Amino acid sequence: MPKLFKPRLQRLKWLFTDSPVYYLTICTQDRRSILANQQIHESFRRFAQNATDWQVFVGRYVIMPDHTHFFAVFNPLSPSLDKWIKSWKNTLSKTLRAMNIAPRHFEKGFFDHVMRSEESYEEKWLYVRENPVRAGLVKRWEDWPYQGEIHPLAVAAVYDRRRRS
């Protein structure tokens, strides 16, 4: 019997940079609309601000009703991406449980992509910030209340370092 699904791609075992910029997307279980609210936004911002304690730097983000997009820089002192995302999900799940929203809150996996240049970071951000407009939630991306930036990621400096090594 032929397989109906292609095998899922595995994460890279190593990267050729010390501080990759990741584009991350995390979806709710069954695409439930449970994220676009002030409590989740505050929980996300607190977690992202405290992420520097683990050498993770969160940049721009958009929290949609059923998924979240954000950019983050990890360095050699950071925990693994899998471990950090698990902690992120646990933190937001705790907030959701406090709001009496029954689990399961998030899909098991997540999507990650390593940005390859400053241009691709900017291009990806232009796409991400328009998500609420494309979804018909606001007329202008600036009007979406659940988006922002925690740390400027200084992407140019990260890629400059790579070119010099």
State the CATH number of the domain containing residue 123.
3.30.70.1290
Q: Which two tokens stand for residue 88?
A: 């992120």
> Is 6 domain-assigned?
no
Domain count, the chain: 1
Whole-angstrom CA distances from 112 to 76, 99, 138, 156 are: 18, 28, 26, 20
pLDDT digits (tens, 9 = 90+) for 86-103: 999 999 999 999 999 999
Q: Which residue has the tokens 């439930």?
A: 32
Q: Which domain holds residue 93?
A: 21-152
For residue 124, tell me if it sits in a domain. yes
- What pLDDT was estimated at residue 45? 98
**63 phi and psi angles, rounded to 5 deg:** -100, 115
What beta strand segments (E) does the chain contain?
21-27, 56-63, 67-74, 111-114, 147-149
Residue 164 forms part of a structural domain = no
Residue 69: predicted pLDDT: 97
**What sign results for the dihedral spanned by CA atoms 34, 37, 39, 43?**
positive
Residues in the chain predicted with pLDDT less than 70, given as ranges, are 1-17, 118-119, 154-165
**Does residue 10 sit within a domain?**
no
Q: What is the pLDDT of residue 30?
A: 96
Flag whether the pTM goes above 0.85: no
pLDDT at 153: 83
**96, part of any domain:** yes
Short-list 19, 132, 11, CA closest to 71: 19
Kindly report the number of other CB atoms within 10 A of residue 43's CB atom.
22
Instruction: Please give the single-letter amino acid code of residue 114.
Output: V
